[in-house]
Amino acid sequence: MTILVVDDERNIADGIAYTLGEDPEIDVEVHVCYSAQQAKEFAEKHYIDIIVCDINMPKQNGLSLCKDLLRSYPNMKTVFLTGYSDFSYAYEAMKLPDVAYVLKLENDGVLLRTVKEKIASVEELHRKNAEFICQQQLNRELSQQLGDLQLRQAIVEGKYDFCDASFLLMCFPCESGGLTEIVRNAFNGTVAICENDKYLVTAIRSDEDVNVVTERAKRLQQDLYEQTGDCSTFVFDPPCYQTADSRYQKLIKKRKGRNSALYFLDTADPDSPIDSRDDEVIASVAEYIDTHLDEDLSLAFLASMVYYNPAYFSRKFKAVMGNNLRTYILNKRMELAKKLLVETDEFVQDIAAKCGFGNSTQFGMSFAKCNGCSPGAYRRTNQERC
């Protein structure tokens, strides 16, 4: 979930972002813009769930900005910030959907309570949407499409009809009924499914590269694990000129003995349980973080780098690295900041940028929170010791 704070007064905007980011009950990504134009540029690249916006800004006021953004994000929740003299906007503001109004002179508790109400509203909308989609997927009757019949026939009769398709064998600890539509929706292309009480075999014809199809299969397995908590074995076979029954038997043979863990196997590669790869994958992400501290290191971005479900990636990162992702990144940024403060004479704002902070104010507040003093005080104390 993403919250965007927009205010032309930098200290106010940075202070709000810091307040929201430090509240343990608010687990969202908070971004800051200092003008309506910056906010619109941000909206072109990022989804906005909630906007906390000054209603009275130069060039384009918050009311006009939010009207523009609502065209792209009709479910966006709005919290307007105002001084006592801004009530001329109140009547127009209340015509917008899901709007709240907070006075700048009120304490942080009022703002936090208002934002948490908006977060709860967004989560409720997400929950209803997820329930609707899941219900539609799980309750839909299994359609006996022509492609499914052709796949079953090709396996039984040993035909070459599916040489151009990737095969995916899925084995679950319990019956796989109700998952066929979820499987179909996981791939771009034509999907044929043959199912029995032990296995679900899928033939995937797609214009996408076989590596992309493989990664979609891995994401599907992780998503199903997130939903059910059940381990499963997936065996993938890229397109090849063999009869359907030969490929089916090859998949079955590859799968033998895999019952108690989460496995993703490829007929072209040595056996490798997915859990044994997690350490390597997470280590590679951690190495990327260490060398890109000045760049975007959001959960969504890092998970997408390795084709992991964000929630699954978050849990695995903490299990492997011992800290959650946010803490790990902050610690690394603080290590770099302290090194640059002591070993160089660079300006604080330049060090802030190299450590991934949008401005020196945010950097200063985070540094003081972690180290108990300002960056300048830390530099003076430690340079004197050297």
Tell me: do 278 and 386 sit in the same domain: yes
How far is it, in rounded angstroms, from Cα 33 to Cα 16? Answer: 12
Longest Cα–Cα distance of the chain, Å, equals 83
Report the SS3 class of residue 222: helix
Q: How many domains does the chain have?
A: 3
- pTM confidence score: 0.40
Tell me: do 163 and 206 sit in the same domain: yes
Q: Are 180 and 142 in contact (CB under 8 A)?
A: yes
Q: Residue 337: its pLDDT value, please?
A: 94
Tell me: do 169 and 285 sit in the same domain: no
Which of 23-27, 86-90, 367-371 ranks highest by mean pLDDT?
367-371
Mean pLDDT of the chain: 84
How far is it, in rounded angstroms, from Cα 179 to Cα 202? Answer: 12
Q: Residue 135: its pLDDT value, please?
A: 67
Least confident window among 24-38, 101-115, 260-274: 260-274
Tell me: do 189 and 116 sit in the same domain: no
Tell me: do 343 and 232 sit in the same domain: no
pLDDT higher than threshold 90 for residue 351: yes
Tell me: do 263 and 278 sit in the same domain: no
Can you give the CATH number for the domain in which 344 is found? Answer: 1.10.10.60
105 burial level (CB within 10 Å; 0-12, 13-18, 19+): exposed
Q: What is the pLDDT of residues 108-120, one digit of tens each?
A: 899 999 999 999 9
For the CA atoms of the chain, what is the radius of gyration?
Answer: 26
pLDDT higher than threshold 80 for residue 190: yes
How far is it, in rounded angstroms, from Cα 181 to Cα 36? Answer: 43
Q: How far is C-alpha 369 from the geometric centre of its chain's CA atoms?
A: 26
